[in-house]
Amino acid sequence: MSKLKPKLFSVMKNYTKDQFIKDVISGVIVAIIAMPLSIALAIASGVSPEQGLYTAIIAGFIISFLGGSRVQIGGPTGAFMVIVLGIVLEFGYEGLVIATIMAGIFMILLGLLKLGSFIKYIPYPITTGFTSGIAVVIFTSQVKDFFGLEITDVPSDFIPKWGSYFSHFGSINWIAALLGLLSILIIIFLPRITKKVPGALIAIVVTSLLVYFFQLDVETIGSKFGELSNQFPKFNLPNITFEKIKLLIAPAIVIALLGSIESLLSAVVSDGMIGSKHRSNMELVAQGTANIASVLFGGIPATGAIARTVANIKNGGRTPIAGIVHSLTLLVILLLFMPLAKLIPLSSLAAILFVVAYNMSEWREFKNLFSSPKSDVFVLLVTFALTILIDLVVAIEVGMVLAVFLFMKRMSEISSVKVKSLDSSEDELNFDFSKVSEKYHTDKNILIYEINGPFFFGAADKFLDLINSLGEKNKYIIIGMKHVTVIDATALHAFKRMLNTCEKHKIEVYVTGIQKEPYQTLKTGGLVDRISENHFLKSIEEAKSYLQRLSVSQEIIQPNL
């Protein structure tokens, strides 16, 4: 279980001046990236622009100060936009505050009860389905502002909303559309020239200057929201009643679940990039605390932001100090420059969110999942469709129920097949993934693992731990799969990530004893070709002997482990 100790307090023991400089530089760069995103996401969520900065400042600081990750950057994200907008439209901002406070309490309890690791067991088709669905909803919500359409009341539902767009497309503001297109081109092509300056920032600066100097007739933040406050927000406690709690309990659970999933996913991604190990339970406690503080000071829900976290890593950030600097830099921007944001055209902010939607759509992963078992494809499509056509709450509820039923169905099929051998079936129903290199007395450059039992979403996280143990010293990996009867989409995705890492380190993979159905799943997913057909052998002993002979011929034998 992960320790309930903030990562900041651990990394400061060996902190250096050189790393401090890198963290400060990275924090400032990430703040510049976060500024336009925070404003755009706040507007798209139905609140005022400055509330996005409040969130990035307050929640971002707490997530870095108390969090369980070295490099996590917290703030408003696109995943929350759909649920936040729905709550604000139905219950007002006070309803959002109450729901987020409850969500924060749920997240803290998950962390204190040390249940952080269980969040990672949500099946991959569900997370891909609702993430892709959210991306479509974000894109749809920004069409009006991007094209400057004159629509007084935009329908909230997906199909009527597009009907309204088509019926009002004659009112398109071509200047707004061109500014939006210019913003997209800047965001896409500027990184090819320089990656030191965020494309989104340059886009809003260029388009704002064009609007100001040429007095262009387009809607801006100022024309929609008036003067913007550059004051630090005041503490505001909502009027909480039992009736409001009952109404908002379901959205609160979704905020807690979504925030937990996204923050831990971001932490896992960052672990793989810097070779670290986050503390999932402490991360949830920090996320819950940050969300409560955010809405009590005028903000909106926050979570770990994958794109900003990756930017932090690429710019040299390696400790929570970078996240704290990011928060303080945004505070300076709020106090000194926020009034200037009124010049930003809404079409440029819509363009930024178009790019955000594209990046979070995971369309390649969505497409690849169609090579998974039909039941996983069904869960993916149902979750995706419900996210778009109804809402995220229903999508997650139905997706989880379907996943549970499919899991039980698969387990019943496995137990009926294995009834002939009780000992064998008992071993296989309890998933075990272990390193057995020492058992086979192999060479140091050969790693051997065995997978015993159904390879499902509940086991995929254990398999991903393999990735963190790989390095340049390893040349071969043997994976014994004799007792694997079924592989689902989440495990298949984990297998692909393992192969990506192996290809990066030029490590050859050998699979032994695999049965017909798991082999067909790997083949359909294109992994048999990636591994190579002749790397599938009958047993671990056969693979070990083959590689040792190969090592002798290449004169690369190393001392035993």
| Residue 166: inside a domain | yes
CA pair distance 11, 64, nearest whole angstrom = 12
CA pair distance 200, 205, nearest whole angstrom = 9
Which tokens hold the place of 523?
């083949």
CA pair distance 356, 485, nearest whole angstrom = 39
| Residue 397: inside a domain | no
Last residue of a domain, one of 366, 384, 418: 366
Q: Are 269 and 71 in contact (CB under 8 A)?
A: no
Q: Are 68 and 278 in contact (CB under 8 A)?
A: yes
- The C-alpha torsion from 417 through 418 and 419 to 421, rounded to 10°, is 150
Give the model's pLDDT for residue 474. Answer: 74
Q: Which SS3 state, helix, strand or coil, does residue 219 take?
A: coil
| Residue 381: inside a domain | no
The H-or-E segment that residue 541 falls in is helix 540-554
Chain mean position to CA 47: 23
| Residue 445: inside a domain | yes
Together in a domain, 487 and 352: no
Which tokens hold the place of 541?
């002993």
CA pair distance 321, 414, nearest whole angstrom = 49
Together in a domain, 358 and 446: no
| Residue 61: inside a domain | yes
Together in a domain, 156 and 279: yes
Query: Beta strands 476-483 and 508-512: pairing type?
Result: parallel
Structural domain boundaries enclosing 446: 428-554
DSSP-H helix ranges across 78-153: 78-112, 116-119, 124-141, 143-147
Q: pTM score, two decimals?
A: 0.79
The H-or-E segment that residue 525 falls in is none
Tokens 């790693």 belong to 447
By CB atoms closer than 10 A (0-12, 13-18, 19+), residue 560 is: exposed
CA pair distance 509, 535, nearest whole angstrom = 7
Last residue of a domain, one of 317, 346, 366: 366
Q: Which SS3 state, helix, strand or coil, does residue 284 take?
A: helix
- What is the CB-side half-sphere exposure of residue 89 using CA atoms within 13 A? 15
Query: Beta strands 74-75 and 446-452: pairing type?
Result: unpaired
Q: Which residues 6+ apart lie within 8 Å of 118 measured at CB? A: none
Together in a domain, 338 and 482: no
Give the model's pLDDT for residue 546. Answer: 87
Q: What DSSP string describes 402-423?
A: HHHHHHHHHHHHHHHHTTT-HH
Together in a domain, 182 and 318: yes
Give the model's pLDDT for residue 443. Answer: 66
Tokens 């809404």 belong to 346
Residue 516's CATH number: 3.30.750.24
Q: Are 539 and 512 in contact (CB under 8 A)?
A: yes
CA pair distance 325, 20, nearest whole angstrom = 10
Together in a domain, 362 and 433: no
For Cα atoms 108, 111, 113, give the angle at the middle one, nearest 5 degrees.
Answer: 105
Per-position pLDDT tens, the chain of length 561: 457 899 999 999 889 999 999 999 999 999 999 999 999 999 999 999 999 999 999 999 999 999 999 999 999 998 899 899 999 999 999 999 999 999 999 999 999 999 887 766 778 888 889 889 999 999 999 999 999 999 988 998 899 999 999 999 999 999 999 999 999 999 999 999 988 788 999 999 999 999 999 999 999 999 999 888 899 889 999 999 999 999 999 999 999 999 998 898 889 888 878 988 899 999 999 999 999 999 999 999 999 998 899 899 989 999 999 999 999 999 999 999 999 999 999 999 999 999 999 988 878 889 888 988 888 899 999 999 999 998 877 888 898 888 888 776 666 555 432 222 222 233 333 444 555 555 555 567 788 888 877 787 666 766 777 666 666 667 888 888 988 888 888 888 888 888 888 888 888 999 999 999 999 999 999 999 999 999 999 998 898 888 878 766 665 444 443
Chain mean position to CA 527: 24
Together in a domain, 188 and 104: yes
| Residue 267: inside a domain | yes
Together in a domain, 231 and 153: yes
- The C-alpha torsion from 57 through 59 and 61 to 62, rounded to 10°, is 160
Structural domain count, the chain: 2
| Residue 561: inside a domain | no
Q: Are 256 and 110 in contact (CB under 8 A)?
A: yes
Query: What is the b/e burial string over 156-178, where b = at least 16 CB atoms within 10 angstroms of the residue's CB?
Result: eebeebeebbeebeeeebebbbb
Q: Are 481 and 513 in contact (CB under 8 A)?
A: yes
Last residue of a domain, one of 342, 366, 390: 366
Together in a domain, 356 and 504: no
Together in a domain, 356 and 432: no
SS3 content of the chain, % helix, strand, coil (to 5): 70, 5, 25
Q: Which SS3 state, helix, strand or coil, does residue 512 take?
A: strand
| Helices 124-141 & 346-360 angle (0-180, nearest 10) | 160
| Residue 386: inside a domain | no
Together in a domain, 439 and 349: no
Chain mean position to CA 213: 39
Together in a domain, 349 and 466: no
